[in-house]
Structures are given as structure tokens and as C-alpha cells.
Structure 1
């Protein structure tokens, strides 16, 4: 099954009050395994960037000044998303901004039935705990030391790892539709794991000489506990 993990960065919290999406990052999974395909884009928000928002993601008016508006890149994004389920952290926020941008440029909205919210999954699994992306990465041992500021693609990469853990861990993909999945794999990103060399299986069997020395040692024991109460051999 194909799924898309995605995250957005914005000028604020409410598209209804004029806030806009300025960045989106997407990661493709197939049967919960990253294929290496990604989509990443910055957009000109057609408004000034508030200082509070810039402090979070570091995207300034100057940086965004030469970026296209969302409508000029909407088709490329929709082609990548296809009709796959879309996974996000606090997904209603990201869906709200994505659908707002799609409405503004006359494209059909993404159906809410496609939404998978990792916050909702985490609340079910860990009631009463902290459910921020940072807190959950710490809980599952996901390295986020390189995350100085928020970034849509970086956060999507972290969320992809978290989603895999929340839905059963990496082992769920072992032996699952391997032939079908191999047609979709490109190159597994470095943020998941490096390719390890295949080593021959080790043989853990005692040699004849070792067995002989062991038998000689056991024969020297005086009333070993494991023979207590048992008739002598």
C-alpha cells in the first residue's frame, strides 16, 4: 500500500485569517517502507512573514521572494500525492492549509477521508503522555539532533520513522509483498539506515576436543546440584 507522509510550514496558524503555506515536504512509503521518492517545495506566501513564524522555521521574506506561488506548482504536488492516504502530525492543521491553497488556485480539495493523524494514533497508544513530534521521537529513540529549526521535509522524514514505529515497527515489512515492493523501491534514504554487509552465519557448536574437556571437568565435581535426588548413572 502506498502512503504519503507530509508536513507543512506556514506564516501562522489560521488560513481563514490570511495565513499561507510556504513549504511542503512529502515522503513516499510503500508497505510502510520508504521508497526514496520525495517531494519538496517552497512557495511565496504573497504576504509578509511574521517574526514569530520566521523564528520557528527560519523562512524569511527575502528567502521566499523568488519562490513561485502555490498555484504555479500545484499540479506537480498533486501528481506526486496521487490518491494515496496522507499521514501528518496534527493532520487537521496541515490538511487545512493544503486545502486552503488548493481552493485559492481552483484545484479540488483533498478528501478528509484520506487523512491519517499520528497525534490521534499516539494518544490512543500513550494516553496522558506528551504527543509532540519531539516528545515522541524521544520516546521511540529517533535521532533528531540535526533538527535545529522546523523544516517541512526534515519533519516529514522524522514523522515517517515515527509512523513506522507507531504502526508496528520496522519488522512489519519483513516478508510482506517483497516482490511487489521491490518494483517501487528506488534507494532507501540515509536517514533510515545504511546498507550493512552480509556476513556468513557463525557456527556455535562445541568441537570434539571441547566436549572431551567438558566431560573430564564434570567428572571431577562432587555431588553436583543437578544430580541431587537422582539415581547415579
Structure 2
């Protein structure tokens, strides 16, 4: 099953109030495994970036001034997402901006039937807990060291790992090495593709190691001891 996990960065909180997209990041999952295929673009919002938004994502007017307009890249985006389910955190926000831009350039909107909201899933799985992306990454042991500012592609990659955990964890795809045929891929894209698996770390604490050693001492004639003496 193919799914697209995505995130956006914007100039503010309201498309209808005049805010626009400045970044889109999408990653492809097949059977809950990241394939390494992604779509990422910075966009010229055709308006100034408020200082409050700049503090969140660090994308300045100068940096965005030579970037493409949404209408210039919309066909590439549509081609990448296809008809797959679209997963986002607080998905109504991201869908609102994507569909606002689609409508603005005369393209059909992305059906809300395709929307999967990890915020809704997290609230169901962990009632009363914090449900920010940072909090969920911490809960599931997902490395956040690269996240100093919000960035659409990085956040989509992190969210893909969170989504896998929220929907069953890595055991649902453990041991599966998926080679996904990539259609309409250029030579440059093929060279840059990297196979990525969601990372989790299970390093035992000192206390756990001590309890394990104490447990082993209680075993009488363990099999590995017999093998060593033989």
C-alpha cells in the first residue's frame, strides 16, 4: 500500500486571510516503510514573510525571492502524490493550504477522503498526553537532534516514523526490504535516492543490565554454559 506523509510551512495560519505556502515536503511509504522517494520544494509566497513565521521556519524573503511559484510546480506535486492517502499532523491545516493553492491556480482540490490525521490518531492512542510532533518523537525514541527549526521535509520524515509507531510499530514491516519500482524518475533522482528505514534505538540502561546479569546467575545449568564446557 502506498501512502504519502507530508508537511508544509507557511507565512501564517490562514490561507483565506492571505497567508501562503513557502515549503512542501512529502515522503513516500510503501507498506509502512519509507522508500527513499520524496518531493520537496521551496515556494515564493508572493508576499512578505512575517517575523513570527520566520522565527518558526527560518525562511526569509530574500531566500524565497527566487523560488518557483506554486503554479509552476503544481503538476510535479500532483504527479508525486498520485491518488495515495495523504498523512499529516493536524491535517486540516495542511490540506487547507494545499487546497487553497490548488484552487487559486485552477486545479482540482485534494479530496478530504484521502486525509489521515496523525494528531487525531495520537489523541486516541494517548489521551491526556502531549501530542506535538516533538512530544511523539520523544515518546517513540525518534531522533530529534537535526530539528533546530521547522522544515517541511524533515518534519515529514519524522512524522512518517511517528505514523508507523502510531499504527502498529515496526513489527508490521519487520524484515521486509521493499524495492519499489520508480516511474518517471530522472537519472539525477535515481542517483540521489537513499533507502531509509525508520530508526529506533533500544540501548539498555545500566540498571537493566544489572538486573539481567542477576537473573542469569539464578539459572541452573544454562544451555550456553553446557555448550562452552563441551
Match of 1:65 in 2: 65
1:189 aligns with 2:225: no
Alpha-carbon distance, 1:187 to partner: 3.8
For 1:12 and 1:170, locate their aligned partners in 2 and report how far apart those are by CA, in whole Å: 35
Deviations 1:117-136 (A, max 9, x none): 00000000001111100111
Alpha-carbon distance, 1:191 to partner: 6.6
Q: Give the aligned CA root-mean-square deviation in angstroms.
A: 2.0
TM-score by length of 2: 0.81
Deviations 1:80-117 (A, max 9, x none): 00000000000000000000000011010000000000
1:160 counterpart SS class: helix
For 2:154 and 2:69, locate their aligned partners in 1 and report how far apart those are by CA, in whole Å: 22
Which sections of structure 1, spanning at least 5 residues, go unmatched? 194-202, 212-233
For 2:175 and 2:137, locate their aligned partners in 1 and report how far apart those are by CA, in whole Å: 26
1:130 counterpart SS class: coil
2:5–2:159 CA contact under 8 A, matched in 1: yes
2:7–2:153 CA contact under 8 A, matched in 1: yes
The number of aligned residues is: 198
1:30–1:184 CA contact under 8 A, matched in 2: no
Cα gap change, 1:146/1:187 in structure 2, threshold over 3 Å: closer, same or farther? closer
For 2:81 and 2:33, locate their aligned partners in 1 and report how far apart those are by CA, in whole Å: 16
TM-score by length of 1: 0.80
Would you identify which runs of 4 or more consecutive aligned residues in structure 1 move more than 6 Å? Answer: none
